[in-house]
Amino acid sequence: MIAITAAVLLSPVERVEHPVVLIEDGFISEIQPRAHCSIPASARMVDFGDAILAPGFIDIHIHGAGGHDVMRPPREGLPAMEKVLARHGVTSYFPTTVTAPLDTTLSALQRLADIIEENRTDSKDCRAQPVGIHLEGPFLSHTRRGVHPAENLVPPSIEVFDRLWQAARGHVKLITIAPEVDGALEVIREAARRGVTVSIGHSDATLEQARAGVAAGARHATHTFNAMRPLSHRDPGILVLVLTDEQLTADIILDGIHVEPAVASLFLKMKGPERAVLISDALSATGMPDGHYRLGTFDIQVKNGKCLAGETLAGSVLTLDRAVRNAMQFGNFDVQQAVRAASLNPATATGISAHRGKLAAGQCADMVVLNSRYEVMQTIIHGHAVNPNSVVGG
């Protein structure tokens, strides 16, 4: 048993002063204020002093990091990516595809399914764990495709969706789809029936077309404002629904590049601390120097934090710990609200909150330790510390 103490714990729905977190076999067994907790004599004590304990961050939209792209073999490159994520507080993630030739996507999904099915819960090689796949493309709008290659977009059909689903062996947890494209509503209904969170995005939908997508089962929105029909007071389009519909959670890239901070503040106010989700949309260049990198089948140039394919924005080098701090800076979220947007909210939106996204008895012992500047001091995954010199889980 391990007993972890710190100054504050953010569950994130509750705040506990001077907490004790008891961990057994990689899961949280109990959380109590120190004054009310009887710590077993056999427990290994770890005191983080004045630090903050929070749930590990969950990135549901990430294409790569550490020089590795999730669409490209060999799979041996993923540990470098997962170590970068863990250093920035991410304990779980959804490897995210980008539109490519269908055979390429099917092969990538098979590799990702293999990795997800590996049982690493007893490993002390602490890296962020893939817990589901985000299928971004190929069912996107040609008008709002962003950098997704037009020649590889495919009209939505249950037949193609099933091929993707079978290749991923049911590990698709999130799919981005443009609801206005012919055939999309049928795929939305079928994906939702299979337990997939359907996210509307890369879309030129009118307000009515977006409403039809929600009526069919969509419950989330992908990188709000980016690759979406712009808001107009006479032609409100998809954005009005994304910002105002309480059925929808929605995510955003808070790097200060994809969305101007004042507009990001509007998003955070409209969706609020319960429905706003922070994502990175990070590329293989994350944690790497400026230069040329790959996203799926095409080249990206990274300079001064901006990722471009030609003149088009193409993902980011944002990390979720930075996004949490930016939510506090741009939108006046407090630390508890910002942490929630990077942990419980993505877990709830994608149906994985039974064991991830919050600090509570029965949850995976996935947590991040933050200092007074809200920087990551330590990441703990299934009870083991990322820092190999740490006594946690040693």
Q: What is the pLDDT of residues 276-289, one digit of tens each?
A: 999 999 999 999 99
Mean pLDDT, range 124-139, rounded to an integer? 91
**Parallel, antiparallel, or unpaired for β 52-55 and 367-370?**
antiparallel
Cis peptide before 261, with omega less than 30 degrees from 0? no
Spatial separation of the C-alpha atoms in residues 21 and 55, rounded to whole Å: 12
Between CA 43 and CA 389, with CA 379 as vertex, the angle to 5 degrees is 70
Q: What is the pLDDT of residues 18-63, one digit of tens each?
A: 999 999 999 999 999 988 888 888 889 999 999 999 999 999 999 9
Spatial separation of the C-alpha atoms in residues 42 and 33, rounded to whole Å: 19
Task: Select which of 59, 281, 321, 366 is catalytic.
Answer: 281
Residue 213 pLDDT level (bands cut at 50, 70, 90): very high
Q: What is the pLDDT of residues 164-195, one digit of tens each?
A: 999 999 999 999 999 999 999 999 999 999 99
Would you say residue 393 has pLDDT above 80? Answer: no
| Secondary structure class of 205 (helix, strand, coil) | coil
Would you say residue 143 has pLDDT above 90? Answer: yes
pLDDT at site 120? 66
Which residue ranges form the domains of the chain, and what is each CATH number?
Answer: 2-53+361-385 (2.30.40.10), 57-349 (3.20.20.140)
47 flagged as catalytic: no
